[in-house]
């Protein structure tokens, strides 16, 4: 049985990762079928 793994790109990583990778320049990967408490998106609005 062949399983197709689809990955998504994470940008900036997470609050609980090392300081040096918590920047918008960092790119990581995450399996599309996985979920976690610290992976998501942040809505930003200029005030």
List, for residues 1-47, the tens digit of each pLDDT value: 556 678 887 776 666 777 776 777 777 777 777 777 766 667 778 88
pTM, 2 dp: 0.42
pLDDT at 26: 77
* Res 3: pLDDT: 64
d(CA 47, CA 44): 10
What pLDDT was estimated at residue 13? 63
Distance between CA atoms of residues 11 and 26, nearest Å: 6
Q: How far is CA 22 from CA 3, 28, 47, in A?
A: 31, 11, 24
Instruction: Report the pLDDT value the prediction gives residue 5, as an integer from 0 to 100.
Output: 76
């Amino acid at each position: 049985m062949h399983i197709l793994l689809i990955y998504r790109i994470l940008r900036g990583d997470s609050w609980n990762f090392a300081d040096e990778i918590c920047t918008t320049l960092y790119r990581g990967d995450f399996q599309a079928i996985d979920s976690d408490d610290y992976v998501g998106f942040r809505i930003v609005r200029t005030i």
